[in-house]
Amino acid sequence: MPEQLEFFSIASPCRGVCQSDARGFCRGCLRSRQERFDWTGMNDSQKRDVLRLCHQRYLRLMRAGKNFPHEPVGPEQPSLF
């Protein structure tokens, strides 16, 4: 499938917390260590996949009743207005 052109690059979901939980996911953005290291070299499609995985991790935490101090990370495009 050809990749769709993006008008805006996808911003890093980093929240500035930068602490890993027991499973190795960042407590701030829910990315794995490898996802954090590789972020700048990823294309937009790969970044969207990582954001989708982060959102799934967030939902899993919420279903388990775990506290998460931040809003869910989603693949949102910045507002044009």
Closest CA to 75 of 66, 58, 60: 58
- What residues does each domain of the chain span? 16-64
More confident residue, 51 or 4: 51
Task: State pLDDT tens for residues 13-45.
Answer: 999 888 888 889 999 999 999 999 999 999 999
Residue 71 has pLDDT above 60, yes or no: no
Does the pTM surpass 0.75? The reply is no
